[in-house]
Amino acid sequence: MVDKACSTKASSVTFIERLFTELAEVGEKKEEVFNLETSGGQDALKESVDKHGGCPGDKTVKDYSTQCGADCDKACMDPTCTDHCYVDCPYMAARFGYIMATPTNKKAIEQDIDCFKHCAKEKDSSDNKCRDTCKLISSTPTPAPAKAA
C-alpha cells in the first residue's frame, strides 16, 4: 500500500501532491479576491480538465464546483470565508477531476500540463501565450455580450 501511495505514478498521493504544489508555482501569479493568490499553472489544470472531460458526468470544472460553493456558503458565517470558497472550489474541482479522470484523459491532461510548464519557463512567456501554445482555452468567465434592443 505504501508503495502505491508514494510511487511516481499519476495515481499516487505523493505524485499528485507534488504536481499540485508545482502547479501553484508555475506561470503568472494573479491576485484574486481578498489577496488570495492563484497561478497560471492552476488555471492550466482547470482548462485541461475541461478540455479532456476529467470531471464526472463530463461537467465543466465550473459546473462541478457549484455544489462545493453552495455547501461552503452554507457552512460559512463570515462573508470572507464565502469569498474564499468561490475562489478555491473551482481549483479543488479541477484537482478532483484530474484524480478521477480516466487513464487516457489523465495522460492527455498531463501532456497539457507538461506543455504549459515548459512554455512558462521560456523568457518571453505569458499565461496567454502558453494557453495558445498548449491549445488551452481560458476558463475565466467573460462578460456576456450586450443584447441588441
Q: Dump pLDDT digits (tens) for 70-121.
A: 888 788 777 777 777 778 888 888 998 998 888 999 999 999 999 999 999 9
**In the chain, domain spans:** 56-100, 102-138
Eight-class DSSP state of 34: G
Tell me whether residue 149 is exposed, middle or buried, using C-beta atoms within 10 angstroms of its C-beta: 0 to 12, 13 to 18, 19 or more.
exposed
Looking at residue 110, its pLDDT comes to 93
